[in-house]
Structure 1
């Protein structure tokens, strides 16, 4: 392992912990020291739970020493986007409106990660209510690669902390791109699962029928290890899927590259409105997959405009359902972008909402038909190499274009994995996403792992940290 310990992969650190070469307490102390030294420049954590992290690490250490090793997450420090109910720990949801909220029980996914033995370092920064922008009172999260650039959608703290070596993996949520944007912007690997594959019980919602929770880490194998602990039905969440859960990590073993994988290529889709460096990185990634034995299949991606517009209406409306009472009691607690979304959601009439849900159903059918001939669709994440903070207003003025590669696949409920595939001249990472049919996470993880076995983009780290 040539990288510093804080930049090791989750599975590398897990092996060191399991062998006794490093103690969970020592590892947690190292990470807390690094957070204290580095995070003031990044603002990726809203709350560091040092005392509980050290207590969890001590329990893990005692269990491992006594021969009770729970698996690859045991004794490994991770962090949570500040949306997840965690017993006895204050949460903000990224807004002043919920700053005094303390849960009396853990979200299902928090419980599952704790049961797997993970050590939770703290609560990560996010866009207010998982929407739009950071609340002005909480400050911006900073991209560790370049402070001038946006660190991605609402899971910004998850992307920045994972990229900067402030945790070995994190949880993000995705309603319109908020795992995929920060994964691409920070050069990490993130999985947006099939809608319903992970429980939403105990998670503050943005839009109930779109929200998806997934892991973010430094490579696909680490993501698979996290997902093993997360995926599966939950009796507390009746929308969770009951399909059997495979061993995602074991499925990576013995894969002969991407041989036989049918990758859909839509030339128009790849290039429309996308900058030259992103297109070049995508084309090189396609060539890499071809060299790994994949079959390239020409396809036509269904029109995404109406699906993107539908996603925006559904998000506004369902967010308003959750926030309406608190919002109308004191609107001053909400930042400008979330407040505007809630006003829109409250104002929509029944016909507008019905049209959005009809468009969603139609697009789901079109995407299902697309995947009848391919295993994976390869896609940009967003249209440019990074998004400059100072230009966000202009990007958001064309929100349909900005969200056009991500939000349609929230509408369809399709799983997607985002991973780095290049670097821009300014030094920023370039990400791609692989999208599949429902419950194709094993295929997506295998494809991403094969690509990462053949390339080194995922091993690069922000030079400033």
Structure 2
């Protein structure tokens, strides 16, 4: 691989910059300095980061270079600059979780995912902006990240900063969280690859929760191959999080080949009822692509996605009310309207209401497992409305059709906890990204990642970048 110019470095894929560092064509310090310079240049416009950790990042880069000079290579993340969503604890930087109440909170330990990134040799550039408490709206007193493709286009929620920074070349990978779509929506909006792992695959220790039984932590990257690298570093059981899975962690990078011809389920009726024209055209193009790969596309009937999406808000609200019980309603005036509204929904439900929601969730999960027993992957969009504008999304709370288009392909997959990958899969007439989503059965991350990699071997949507 030839040494890239300074203008080419920001949009290298993670595995490419890793190779350049490992072979000492570039030092980690050179890459980190170039990325910090880009942040200095673009961050005032994009508002993707809450904290830039320049001093510690350069120190980590120097340590990575020193280790490499002695022949010690820690793996594919060695010396590579990444950033983390500002709900993951960092011992050397505040963790505000998009709130005003916790804006100055300084934890004394790293979240397990952050500690594992650091152990793998990654350079932590900074903390990425998110919506208040990882729900749907940014706190009115805080900036909203700007979509690098088009300032009038929605940048997604809640991992908005992660999507913007990864798309704009401000980091080579980022961490996001997904409770109702918060990896998949900003990945779709910003044209990056996002992996939501199986619930429990990645530790939540040291993560500010939105709704613990729905929260998933995962990578946002420029390719499925890069997502495999990050997931390999952060996945696995953590004694500090008893809910993390004991399921062995495979070498995702070594399993990026699809064995045989996967069966892909597609519910055309669901798509026609809930997704817009641009999205459905993208899905048909995706079907054509995977058919050309030799995969079989099977018509399926998905089990109650619309009802599951509607129930998600109440399920999330109950848990969120518990998470915030020490500060809400005691400090309700410090909350923004979206998060406080969700908490009020949760506080307003009875024990019988919650019991019925849990029974419905268990039923939906069982029916999803039955569906996935007959197929390998389920095709959905990353979002059911093609690259919505900020003006459109202002009506999310009042427009039921828009709400369904956003939540139907996302929230149910959190309810059942299955893994999915979101992939750039087209563009609107405005030149903004569209995205497809492949969902797999429990702990089928190797297949999901391999499917994403195969798709990206025959398409180039993921190699397009915004002009900044």
TM band (smaller chain): over 0.9
2:11 corresponds to which of 7, 23, 32: 7
TM-score (norm 1): 0.97
Structure 1 residue 137, shift from structure 2 partner: 1.2
Structure 2 equivalent of residue 233 of structure 1: 237
Deviations 1:306-330 (A, max 9, x none): 2112211111110110112212221
TM-score (norm 2): 0.97
Residues of 2 paired with 1:402 and 1:181: CA distance?
A: 8
Structure 1 residue 395, shift from structure 2 partner: 2.7
Residues of 2 paired with 1:43 and 1:352: CA distance?
A: 40
2:63 corresponds to which of 59, 79, 88: 59
Structure-to-structure mapping, 1:365-380, within 5 angstroms: 365-380=366-381
Asked whether the equivalents of residues 258 and 294 of structure 1 are also in contact (C-alpha less than 8 Å), the reply is no
Structure 2 equivalent of residue 32 of structure 1: 36
Q: Secondary structure at the match of 1:362?
A: helix
1:222 corresponds to which of 226, 236, 248: 226
Q: Secondary structure at the match of 1:326?
A: coil
Q: Secondary structure at the match of 2:147?
A: coil
Deviates more, 1:27-36 or 1:321-330: 321-330
Structure-to-structure mapping, 1:225-304, within 5 angstroms: 225-252=229-256, 255=257, 259-304=260-305
Structure 1 residue 6, shift from structure 2 partner: 0.4
Would you say how many aligned residue pairs link Structure 1 and Structure 2? 461
Residues of 2 paired with 1:183 and 1:316: CA distance?
A: 24
Structure 1 residue 337, shift from structure 2 partner: 0.6
Residues of 2 paired with 1:41 and 1:319: CA distance?
A: 32
Q: Which runs of 5+ in 1 are unaligned?
A: none
Q: Secondary structure at the match of 1:328?
A: coil
Residues of 1 paired with 2:252 and 2:394: CA distance?
A: 40
1:195 corresponds to which of 179, 192, 199: 199
Asked whether the equivalents of residues 159 and 182 of structure 1 are also in contact (C-alpha less than 8 Å), the reply is yes
Structure 1 residue 259, shift from structure 2 partner: 4.4
Residues of 2 paired with 1:306 and 1:282: CA distance?
A: 22
Structure-to-structure mapping, 1:357-368, within 5 angstroms: 357-368=358-369
Asked whether the equivalents of residues 258 and 293 of structure 1 are also in contact (C-alpha less than 8 Å), the reply is no
Residues of 2 paired with 1:336 and 1:58: CA distance?
A: 44
For the structure 1 residues 353 and 372, does the alpha-carbon distance in structure 2 shift closer, same or farther, using more than 3 Å as the test? same
Structure-to-structure mapping, 1:116-195, within 5 angstroms: 116-195=120-199
Residues of 1 paired with 2:261 and 2:393: CA distance?
A: 40
Residues of 2 paired with 1:197 and 1:310: CA distance?
A: 24
Structure 1 residue 401, shift from structure 2 partner: 4.1
Asked whether the equivalents of residues 313 and 342 of structure 2 are also in contact (C-alpha less than 8 Å), the reply is no
Residues of 1 paired with 2:330 and 2:101: CA distance?
A: 10
Residue 45 of structure 1 pairs with residue 46 of structure 2 = no
Structure 2 equivalent of residue 392 of structure 1: 393
Structure-to-structure mapping, 1:58-137, within 5 angstroms: 58-137=62-141
Structure 2 equivalent of residue 448 of structure 1: 452
Asked whether the equivalents of residues 259 and 292 of structure 1 are also in contact (C-alpha less than 8 Å), the reply is no
Residues of 2 paired with 1:113 and 1:326: CA distance?
A: 31
Asked whether the equivalents of residues 192 and 213 of structure 1 are also in contact (C-alpha less than 8 Å), the reply is yes
